[in-house]
A and B are shown apart, each in its own frame.
Chain A
Amino acid sequence: GNSVTQMEGPVTLSEEAFLTINCTYTATGYPSLFWYVQYPGEGLQLLLKATKADDKGSNKGFEATYRKETTSFHLEKGSVQVSDSAVYFCALTFTSGTYKYIFGTGTRLKVLA
């Protein structure tokens, strides 16, 4: 079946450190891939997305590249800030069928000043 696997957290970094959060997926077909961010006590917000192989999504200094050969969509940021502390979810969906999303379990990021 279809699934998304994220690295377990929490991830604790110092301000200005480099961030990588790993995400791999299993899918029958060619999904669209997403990263969402959730701040404490809030709903999820879209961070970035990619709809086909080799696409790079980017937003607010975060980037992720759709790698079909490794079925991965790792999230990266060159220099994190305290305000980036949140939970990050990797997700996939398809352009046909029921359009249901499949979410990873989330990775909590804590950035220390």
Chain B
Amino acid sequence: DGGITQSPKYLFRKEGQNVTLSCEQNLNHDAMYWYRQDPGQGLRLIYYSQIVNDFQKGDIAEGYSVSREKKESFPLTVTSAQKNPTAFYLCASDRGQSNEQFFGPGTRLTVL
């Protein structure tokens, strides 16, 4: 079955540590996205990539980094510079041009 996988589902880290969240898709989509969701709030765009080896900052990129070395993969690193990293992180992909976005199940990151 085609889809998007995110791992792990729950992640705990100590303050000051970098952590990388995985996102893999087998939908052959060119575009991939990372969103952050806080309780009672909507989705805020962190980074997006429309093609391999290229990505752009979203609305809240500070303290995050990404790479897009393969079409299928778009990992997100939450660095120690992110002041409030505890949140639910969602990865998505689409074919571009106003097509439907497909979402992964999300990773809940808790920084202790």
Q: Are B105 and A99 in contact (CB under 8 A)?
A: no
For the complex formed, measure the closest distance between the CB of A101 and the CB atoms of chain B, giving whole angstroms. 6
A88 to B104, CA, bound (A): 17
**Does the CB pair A105–B42 fall under 8 Å?**
yes
Question: Are A103 and B97 in contact, with the CB atoms below 8 A?
Answer: no
B 85-112 binary contact with A (CB < 8 Å = 1; else 0): 0000010101011101111111010000
- B13-21, B43-51, B68-76: which lies at the interface: B43-51
Interface of chain A: mostly helix, strand, loop or mixed = loop
Are B48 and A95 in touch, CB under 8 angstroms? no
Q: How many A-B residue contacts, CB cutoff 8 Å?
A: 60
Asked whether any CB of chain A lies closer than 8 Å to the CB of B26, the reply is no
CA distance A101 to B102 in the complex (A): 12
| A interface bracket (residues with beta carbon within 8 Å of B) | 20 to 34
On whether A44 and B42 interact (CB within 8 A), knowing A95-B98, A98-B56, the answer reads no
Please indicate the chain B residues that have their CB under 8 angstroms from the CB of A71 in the complex: none
**Residues A32 and B98 in contact in the complex (CB < 8 Å), given A89-B42, A100-B58, A105-B41:** yes
Asked if A49 meets B104 with Cβ closer than 8 Å, knowing A99-B50, A100-B45, the reply is: no
Closest partner residue, chain B, to A43 (CB atom): B103
Q: Is the CB of B105 within 8 A of A42?
A: yes
- A44-B103, A104-B42 known; A99+B56 contact, CB < 8 A: no
Specify the chain A residue showing the minimal Cβ separation from B9.
A41
- CB of A46 within 8 A of CB of B90, answer no
Q: Does B66 contact A (CB under 8 A)?
A: no
Contacts of A36 in B (CB 8 A): 101, 103
Q: Are the CB atoms of B43 and A89 closer together than 8 Å?
A: yes
Let me know if B31 is at the binding interface, CB within 8 A.
yes
Per the 8 Å Cβ criterion, residues 12-69 of B in contact with A are: 31, 33, 40-43, 45, 48, 50, 56, 58
Quick check: is A24 within 8 A (CB to CB) of the other chain?
Answer: no
Partner pick for B98 among A43, A44, A94, A103, CB 8 A cutoff = A94
Q: Are B100 and A103 touching (Cβ within 8 A)?
A: no
